[in-house]
Structure 1
Amino acid sequence: MTPTLPQNDPPALQAKRKQQLGQLQAEYVYDFTTRVQPLGVAHSVPSGQGFNFVWTLGVLNQALNITANLISMAAPFFERLESFGKKVEGFAETEVRDAEQAYLALKAHHLHLSRIFDPTHVTAAPVQVVALAGASSESGLATGTDGSFAVVPGGTSTSVVTSFPSAPASALPASALPASALPASPEALERLPEELKSALGNLTGFMGGTAFDLLLRLISQYGQAKNLGAYQSQFQLLPMTQGAGVALDDVMFARLRVAGPNPVVLRRLTAPDARFPVTEAQFRSVMGQEDSLATAMQEGRAYLADYAVLEGMQPGTFPMRKYFCAPLALFAVPRAGAPDRLLRAVAIQCAQKPGPSTPVVTPGDGLNWEVAKLFLQVADGAWHEMISHLGLTHLLLEAFTLATARQLPPEHPLQVLLAPHFEGTLAINNAAVESLVAPKGFVDRLLPGSIEASTGLAVQAVERFRFNQELFPRSLANRGVADAQALPDYPYRDDGLLIWDCMHRWVEDYLALYYGSDADVAADYELQAWLGELASPTGGRLQDIGENGAIRTRAYLADMVTMVIFTASAQHAVVNFPQSYIMSYTPSLPLAAYAPLPGAPLAAQPANTAALLAYMPPLQQSFSQQTLMTLLGSVYFTALGDYDRYTPGPYFQDPRVAVLLKGFQTRLGEAEATIARRNLRRIPYRSLLPSEIPQSINI
């Protein structure tokens, strides 16, 4: 099928397109009553928009890695327990038994995950107790006739009995083959993503329960860490990236603003800010006596990170009281000719206005500086997760996914181009709204605000988003960070522009196949309806989008489509994947503080890791952060430009596209080589390597 514009079709085909859209609009329905109201999300995930089978394999692999890592931490303790008896100092015997059952339940969760893709799903089998590796002889795994299974506790302790849903049954009759040899049916395979979702939900619930807390207490992975090694010990089988904990180093702390999970906050400072009275003496204490704040501002070398959006946010109390602030931070680049021109952290104020308890502090202020850095990281984590990540990639693209499905029929060239960039988006967003931002879900557990306040950050980010002002090159200019002479080390900007240019050329070339002139764009009534729905209060609710209420030119359409594809692929990669290799190690970026800011500056003393630990997440919270960050940041499904990977033949049926796509792929390869060369000359930045950018938001 060669895509066509609606105005070029004969009346009969135009009527057919209209009928198709009517059917699609009945399937793709907005729901404005969910936890992210008043934003609209899909009422349900339409047929064909669920999780891909290959995607499910990737998620399963990471889930197995996570559970295996947890088991490996507990196994040595319980092996010793079998050798030396069941008495543990400080714990009652019943508590030890309950913790042992929680350990067995964890192993059963792992076993269940490993069985999900077993090609020999059992349809019927008598109940039997199967000994688990490392389990006592009195405990085991009971398998029911429906394929379900549960931990059977030994002794008199029965408080930890965990059951699991059965694996999908084969459509073949049980008598056709031995039960152990029955293959899964195609229908069962289609249900596997939902089964995995259910299994992960069960695992999450288990890890949030009292039995799992007791297990963590028993293996000394609960409460305040005694040293940083306690956090490192949580990586038994999971890889801890070299350089984990970089935020504890001042230079790397600053570099996270330009190459971390949230490299979008910095703005050029052009004049003193009355809220943040950094003195010349404080500036020179960091940047050298020959420099000055006035000169740095004049030369465009001073930058502000302002977290005012967090001011007044309701603090979270689940599962315990959490703390945060709305800080201001000053960063600066050394003058031209300096030995290096890496960004420096100059000063932090842990409030929007100075006060006795929130003075301006600098690196020379010892422990006060370290505490301020930690609170800034907490603020940055909240901004990252709810604004940059959930709000301005996931929820923003929800609007485009729905409007595209409802207003552009399968024959429309833009529908053909954009569909791969929306794969999995409705499904993952549905899962996020149902569970991630649910009360007592991961956001509620880990982030510093209440669940209502955290969700509000994401909603407000989309409501305040001005599309035309946020086109990637324009957003850099608007923040005053586009000048590579003033800010020479900004990998997100430099690599991002490289990827943007590759995409923009591809989009321009593709659109030129179908739109011969601006008049063709203006006459495309389906395209105009698409824009109308994106801006409508009963649709996407997006602000400042289009050219005075319409799409009038090919140039604007190319910018708009490039922005959609860039957000779905590159921008999401930027904010998503560093979760696994930066944020899974909690001290790098704690998602909440667990002690309030001091009521007055701490007595002058050097940086003290032991004192800083009082503010860091307890070990059980660190486990939850490690789990979520590893899962979300480790699944790479599809690759940018590889439209044919999961199709039986060429994805684009119009033969004219092939040469254009080849050009796009060649340019992406050249961009990969350029970034690799840059990484030889700088601290490596991998978030925008084309080979590590999926095409869509699917995790």
Structure 2
Amino acid sequence: MTPTLPQNDSAQAQEQRKQQLAQLQTQYVYDFTTRVQPLGVAQSVPPGQNFAFVWTLGVLNQALGITGNLISMGSHLFESADSLAKKLEDFTEEELHKAEQAYLDLKTHHLNLSRLFDATHVISAPASAVALAGVASGQGLATGTGPSFAIDLGGGGGTRSSSASPLNPRGAQPASPASLEQFAEGLKDSLGHLSQFLGDTAFDLLLRVIGQYGQPKNLQGYQSQFQLLPMTPGAGAALDDVMFARLRVAGPNPVVLRRLSAPDARFPVTDAQFRSTMGPQDSLATAMGEGRVYLADYAVLEGLKAGTFPTQKYVCAPLALFAVPRAGEADRLLRAVAIQCSQTPGPSTPVVTPSEGLNWEIARLFLQVADGTWHEMISHLGLTHLLIEAFTLATARQLPPEHPLQVLLAPHFQGTLAINNAAVESLIAPGGFVDRLLPGTIEASASLAVQAVEGFRFNQELFPRSFANRGVDDAQAFPDYPYRDDGLLVWASLHQWVSDYVSLYYGSDADVVSDYELQSWLKELASPQGGRLQDIGEDGVLKTRGYLADLVTMIIFTASAQHAAVNFPQSYVMSFTPSLPLAAYAPLPGAPLAAKADDIQALLAYMPPLQQAFSQQTLMTLLGRVYFGALGSYDRYVSGAYFQDPRVAVPLQDFQTRLGEVEATIARRNLRRIPYRSLLPSEIPQSINI
């Protein structure tokens, strides 16, 4: 099937397209009554849009690693009668019996997951054979980091449905669909039982007995949670000022900094305070004049209602100042200058600098909490998952399988409705991980995501333009910004591919204007009864090929590279809780604290208790280590070429070649800088599927 524009089809073909869309609109239905209302999400996951088989293997792989890691924490105790007997000093015999039973239940969950994995060898699917090849080569189940897992998750497309659908316009024949469905249901049930078990009081008691409960005595308490799961070399990065600053430009949330060109009355940093970090030869006025001063402003969190599940948590809306050393300096890495833990200056929240010991450590922790909240609810959930949900639904409802943009976009929406449905139903549900880990109430947290999408101005947030809008586009003034620099390489490569593809079907701007399906698509994206997106299109319509290429590039970039940039650092930055705690567990002190002999020891009172750290480790590992698909790999797991139009072959090959060149460029950059891996093309999935 060669894609066609509707205006070029016969009257009969146009009517057939219209009937197809009418049918699809009964399957892809908006629901405006969920926890993210008034945003619309899919009422249910349409047929053919559930998770691919290889994706489920990836989740199973991580679940095995998480449960195996926890079992290893308790094995020294429960596999030794003598060790267990010693616990009678702190627990009753009945409590120890319940804890031991919980440990045995955990082993049962792990065994059930292992049996599921073993059962995959009887599923006669090509994806299964590829996936299990890594295991046969001797790689372990829980030792992979990134896309080099035991399970091959590097393909683009996964197992495809046997029937054409708007997100699978060609269709491809999978093997043993009944077996695949049975496997998926078995995994879903097992993970559901495991999740229920992890929230049970018996599991809570198990954590107490094995010493994974309450405030740790030192940082090693958090490190002890990594028995089998790998702890990355950069764990604890935020406890170092250099790495703390670097997280603003190469961490999970590298989108907050804005250039500060004049003093901000809310944040009265003095020249002396600035010089205490940047040196006596520099000055705040000079640095602002040269565009080297940047503000991280978390005003969006002001008034956020603090949550109490499972215990009282704390958060603030800080301001933080960062600066780049002068041109000519040997080290021009971003530096942290000052933090104020409120939007207004006052005695209880003074401006704090790195020279102030424990007060700086506390301020830095509260800024990390604010950044983690912004990251999870705004940059991650709101501006990738929920934003792309709108495009996924509108594309399915307004562009039929024959439409060239439907064919191009379908692989970039694979798994999105399924993962978003799971997130709305469980992740942001009362008592779910967001409620447990983030500092706000579940209602307050969800509202951050909703407000982010409602306030998103699409045309102003095109990736290159977003840096200019924040004043961080000048590489001379701000030379070390890996997210910007690597992202622009990926954007340029992707934009050329989209432009080449669009030009195959739209010979002129007039073709864009005449495509009434395309115009209906844009109308639904902006409609209050549809995507509710702001500032999208050219005066409410689509007029030019150039703008259409920008628009489609932004969609694909958000679904692939942008999501990769904010999702995967969860595993190698955020799984070690001290690096980026998702909530504080003591209030701001209210006044500067006197110096202490051991600032880290005093800081522990503000950090998450071990049971919360375990939950954070679990979630960040699961979300940040399942890589399914790779940008540009449209043909993996598809019988033959994905694109049936032979004209696509050359521009696609050019795109894949450019991605290889981008990979090599980033690899060379990583030899000269603190490595940044999030935008390596080989580590960018095609779609938001985790």
Higher alpha-carbon deviation: 378-387 or 73-82? 73-82
**1:332 and 2:323 correspond:** yes
RMSD over equivalenced CA pairs, Å: 1.4
Match of 2:382 in 1: 391
**1:560 and 2:545 correspond:** no
Match of 1:458 in 2: 449
Q: 1:678 to 1:37 in 2, by over 3 A?
A: same
Match of 2:216 in 1: 225
Deviation readout 1:215-274 (Å, 9 max, x if unpaired): 111111100010000100100000000121010000110000000000000000011000
Q: 1:608 to 1:513 in 2, by over 3 A?
A: same
Match of 1:45 in 2: 45
Shift of 1:191: 3.5
| Partner residue of 1:283 out of 274, 283, 286 | 274
Match of 2:306 in 1: 315
Shift of 1:396: 0.2
Q: 1:653 to 1:463 in 2, by over 3 A?
A: same
Deviation readout 1:380-400 (Å, 9 max, x if unpaired): 000000000000000000000
Match of 2:264 in 1: 273
Match of 2:94 in 1: 94
* AA at the equivalent of 1:6: P
Shift of 1:84: 6.3
Match of 2:560 in 1: 569
Cα distance in 2 for residues equivalent to 1:471 and 1:461: 15
Cα distance in 2 for residues equivalent to 1:607 and 1:375: 19
Shift of 1:81: 2.8
Q: 1:642 to 1:600 in 2, by over 3 A?
A: same
Match of 1:634 in 2: 625
Match of 2:105 in 1: 105
**1:690 and 2:681 correspond:** yes
Cα distance in 2 for residues equivalent to 1:410 and 1:62: 35
**1:413 and 2:404 correspond:** yes
Deviation readout 1:484-504 (Å, 9 max, x if unpaired): 001000000000000000000
Q: 1:476 to 1:530 in 2, by over 3 A?
A: same
Cα distance in 2 for residues equivalent to 1:252 and 1:493: 17
Shift of 1:87: 5.7
The residue matched to 2:296 in structure 1 has which SS?
A: strand
Cα distance in 1 for residues equivalent to 2:120 and 2:480: 54
Query: Whose relative contact order is higher, 1 or 2, with alpha carbons under 8 Å and at least 6 apart?
Result: 2
* AA at the equivalent of 1:601: P
* AA at the equivalent of 1:11: A
Deviation readout 1:618-663 (Å, 9 max, x if unpaired): 0000000000000000000000000000211100000000111000
**1:36 and 2:36 correspond:** yes
Give the percent of matched residue pairs that are identical in Structure 1 and Structure 2: 80
Cα distance in 1 for residues equivalent to 2:321 and 2:220: 31
Contact 1:24 1:406 in 2 (8 A): yes
Contact 1:64 1:113 in 2 (8 A): yes
Higher alpha-carbon deviation: 617-626 or 199-208? 199-208
Q: For 1:438-457, list aligned pairs within 5 A.
A: 438-457=429-448
The residue matched to 2:89 in structure 1 has which SS?
A: coil
Contact 1:24 1:405 in 2 (8 A): yes
Match of 2:140 in 1: none
Cα distance in 2 for residues equivalent to 1:85 and 1:690: 53
Cα distance in 1 for residues equivalent to 2:324 and 2:182: 54
Contact 1:304 1:328 in 2 (8 A): yes
Deviation readout 1:313-349 (Å, 9 max, x if unpaired): 1101000000010000000000011121000000000
Cα distance in 1 for residues equivalent to 2:83 and 2:544: 76
The residue matched to 1:614 in structure 2 has which SS?
A: helix
Deviation readout 1:155-197 (Å, 9 max, x if unpaired): xxxxxxxxxxxxxxxxxxxxxxxxxxxxx96414224324323
* AA at the equivalent of 1:81: A
Cα distance in 1 for residues equivalent to 2:483 and 2:121: 46
Match of 2:372 in 1: 381
| Partner residue of 1:246 out of 230, 237, 247 | 237
Match of 2:139 in 1: none
TM-score when normalising by structure 2: 0.91
Q: 1:603 to 1:636 in 2, by over 3 A?
A: same
Match of 2:152 in 1: none
Shift of 1:121: 11
Which structure has the greater CA radius of gyration?
1
**1:495 and 2:486 correspond:** yes
Q: Greater share of helix residues, 1 or 2?
A: 2
Cα distance in 2 for residues equivalent to 1:267 and 1:606: 36
Shift of 1:85: 4.2
Q: 1:42 to 1:589 in 2, by over 3 A?
A: same
Match of 1:21 in 2: 21
Match of 2:60 in 1: 60
Match of 1:198 in 2: 189
Cα distance in 2 for residues equivalent to 1:232 and 1:400: 41
Cα distance in 2 for residues equivalent to 1:669 and 1:83: 54
**1:505 and 2:502 correspond:** no
Match of 1:345 in 2: 336
Match of 2:161 in 1: none
Cα distance in 1 for residues equivalent to 2:209 and 2:119: 37
Cα distance in 1 for residues equivalent to 2:85 and 2:372: 44
Shift of 1:202: 1.9
Q: For 1:652-691, list aligned pairs within 5 A.
A: 652-691=643-682
Match of 2:69 in 1: 69
TM-score when normalising by structure 1: 0.90
Cα distance in 2 for residues equivalent to 1:493 and 1:82: 56
The residue matched to 2:208 in structure 1 has which SS?
A: helix
Shift of 1:88: 1.7
Q: For 1:467-616, list aligned pairs within 5 A.
A: 467-605=458-596, 608-616=599-607
